[in-house]
Structure 1
Amino acid sequence: MGLFSRDSGSGSAGDDADGDAAGVFWQERGFIASAIVVGAVVVCLLVWLFARDTGTPTTQPTTSPSTVVPTEQPTEEPPVPPATPTEQPTSTATPSGPPTPGAGGCKLKNPDQRIPRVAPPAVTWQFEADMLIPLQQEGGPSVTDRTGVRSCFAHSPTGAVLAAMNVLGQIRNPDLTDDVLATRVMPGPGRDRAIREARVSTTPRNEGKVAQFTGFKVFDYQPNRVVLQIAVQIDEAKVASLPVTMVWYRGDWRAALQDDGSFNGEVAPDVLQSLDGYVRFRGA
């Protein structure tokens, strides 16, 4: 079972040819906690991050990604309508030097609550293993613990995007997978299952070209929960996208997993024909 799974009933989102091309990424540990990423599925977005066993799913099919709402968080705040970007997405400029640790992020007062329609400004991209992840002074991360796990993101749509990409990027690093699952993922049966599988799985190394983030879309935003579409370039010609849910929990954004230990349950990743409607956001 992988952190990212595919609906076994979905058929032609990407032809057999697309499946063969993307399959190699599904077999890399990358994005998925250790063996979570073993199993091979086609047409996925964070290729290195999601993979799943070929066995019959143990959970009922769902039509939307997991939504976990912590009981201690207020729910009376009105939801923000889903984003429907109309502006032409733009790429981000990278300033010299990373953001200053300890500033901004989850410590930022009154962060901008607007849904980003263009790439976040003043972003520095740094390698996590062989994948580039975004860092921003304002949005975070503003904390890096002794193991290297990054946290403390702004309580805003932009902060959620940055948090999602950092979690997905760091979880594919075999040296950080266990720590990321333990500290950057919402507690629950999904996380427990992912941790168990990570501990008993092999850890294959990436081979060949590495997929990279290429864009995002804020599908739905509420103060305590965000549903995102994260787009990843899996080769020169293909971009895959998958929904990821982030939850505001104990003062920071954390990723939510389905009970089967995956990010998306039965929601199949899509191979995109274009990035129309997505904010272009990449480091390379």
Structure 2
Amino acid sequence: MGLFSRDTDSGGDSDDENSRSFFEERGFIASAIIIGAVLICLVVWFMARGTNSPAAAPSQSPSTPAPTGQPTAVEPTGAPATPINTPPPATQTAPPPPNSHTGGCHDKSPEQGIPRAAAPTAVTWQYEAQMLVPLQAANGPATTSPDGVRSCFSHSPTGAVLAAMVLLGQVQNSAVSVAALKDRVLPGPGKTLAMAAAEKEARTPPTDPGSVQFAGFKVLYYPQNATQAIVQIACDLNRKAYGAIQVTMQWYRSDWYAVLQDDGTFNGTVEPDILSSLDGYVRFSGSS
């Protein structure tokens, strides 16, 4: 049984139907452990589909805590936002080469400013299965392995954001998810569980992965000369709502790697936020 799944035989009311796991509806039971960040957003969207369901109401404040002593923005209250005013795709530039000796982790003095008001520029968005991920020559990824895993991000706040988004996109792509988890996640019990689930899903990939795209981000934690970064990633959930979840990245062996919880997810027991708007987030999306 995957995360957020429910016993569908225990009741036939509409609330139970609307709150069943999106993983179960889309054949994602095996992948629930892997994609605890972005695909959990799909769970929230599925639960929010029923307008009479309590899950449809937006959270009044973020459920995801920032590290101790770190400020976190309070999301405005109100009706769930329908992202009809999402900005157009980032300026499409020539995509960075698959492998480069400049930029990304090769840059020894990357810009250390935390992006709080404006999105990264000169970004190309490319599909990983159904999801658009950002690529930038300056901050990465600067390397793509023969099996398709993207790596080599700059040691900077922007590099950490791009690394998190690219990995989240790649773990949704069954063609590369196992390799991405193997190469881009720190060792630990969570990694072992995530890889086992990814291998199972790769044998029976879902036929309908749902609709989720990145919508924005904010950097929650990035001290000077950081070895750890915590970013909150916001997703557009089929243009019905926004969901956001926290991802921890660790600077390790000259690149950013994801830190998974012991249960194999990015967020553990912390549920994603349903946002009233993208206020407080840097809007960053490859979809119009």
TM surpasses 0.5: yes
Which residue of the other structure, out of 225, 243, 247, is the alignment partner of 2:246? 243
- Structure 2 CA distance for aligned equivalents of residues 197 and 217 of structure 1: 29
1:37 and 2:32 aligned? yes
Alignment of 1:5-154 (within 5 A): 20=18, 23-24=21-22, 28=26, 35-37=30-32, 46-47=38-39, 93-100=90-97, 101-102=99-100, 103-117=102-116, 118-154=118-154
Corresponding residue for residue 213 of structure 2:
212
Q: Which residue of 2 aligns with 1:281?
A: 284
Match of 1:256 among 259, 271, 279: 259
Deviation per CA, 1:185-231, whole angstroms, max 9, x where unpaired? 11111101212233345634252752100000101113110111101
State the alpha-carbon separation in 2 of the partners of residues 192 and 93 from structure 1. 36
Instruction: Provide the rounded CA distance (Å) in 2 between the counterparts of 1:150 and 1:39.
Output: 17
Other-structure match for 1:11 = none
Q: Secondary structure at the match of 1:37?
A: coil
Change (3 A) 1:106 1:50: farther
Q: Quote the offset at 1:50 in angstroms.
A: 7.7
Per-residue deviation, 1:46: 1.4
Q: Deviations over 1:92-141 (max 9, x none)?
A: 63233202331300001211111102100110000111110000010100
Using a 3 Å threshold, how does the CA distance of structure 1 residues 36 and 161 change in structure 2: closer, same or farther?
Answer: same
CA distance in 2, matches of 1:46, 1:162: 14
Runs of at least 4 residues off by over 4 Å = 25-30, 48-51, 62-65, 80-85, 89-92
Q: Once the 2 structures are TM-superposed, how far is the Cα of residue 146 of structure 1 from its aligned partner?
A: 0.2
- Checking the alignment, whether the CA contact within 8 Å between 1:114 and 1:157 is kept in structure 2 is yes
Tell me the CA shift for residue 63 of structure 1.
7.0
Contact 2:65 2:72 in 1 (8 A): no
Q: Which letter maps to 1:237?
A: K
* Paired position in structure 2 for 1:174: 174
- State the AA in 2 paired with 1:46: V
Contact 2:37–2:267 (CA under 8 A) maintained in structure 1: no
Change (3 A) 1:48 1:259: closer
Distance 1:229 1:146, change over 3 A: same
Deviation string, structure 1 residues 251-278 (Cα, Å, up to 9, x no partner): 1001110011111011111111100000
Cα distance in 2 between the residues matched to 1:263 and 1:245: 7
Q: Which residue of 2 aligns with 1:56?
A: none
Q: Which residue of 2 aligns with 1:221?
A: 222
Aligned 8 A contact 1:45 1:240 in 2 = no
The amino acid that maps onto 1:98 is P
Rounded Cα–Cα distance in structure 2 between residues aligned with 1:163 and 1:249: 13
TM-superposed deviation, 1:45: 6.0
The secondary structure found in structure 1 opposite 2:124 is strand
State whether residues 160 and 256 of structure 2, in contact with CA within 8 Å, keep that contact through their aligned partners in structure 1.
yes
Tell me the equivalent position of 1:157. 157
**Structure 1 unpaired stretches of 5+:** 9-15, 52-61, 68-79
Q: How many residues align?
A: 244
Question: Measured at CA, do residues 45 and 171 of structure 1 come closer, stay the same or move farther in structure 2, by a change above 3 Å?
Answer: closer
Scaled by the length of structure 1, the TM-score of the pair is: 0.74
- Give the whole-Å Cα distance in 2 for the aligned partners of 1:170 and 1:283: 15
* Coordinate RMSD, CA, aligned: 3.7
Whole-Å separation in 2 of the counterparts to 1:35 and 1:208 = 13
Based on CA coordinates, which of the two structures has the bigger radius of gyration? 2
CA distance in 2, matches of 1:120, 1:206: 33
Structure-2 separation of matches of 1:95 and 1:277: 25
Asked if the contact 1:139/1:153 (under 8 Å) is kept, the reply is yes
Question: Is 2:231 aligned against 1:233?
Answer: no
Tell me: higher relative CO, structure 1 or 2? Use CA pairs within 8 A at least 6 residues apart. 1
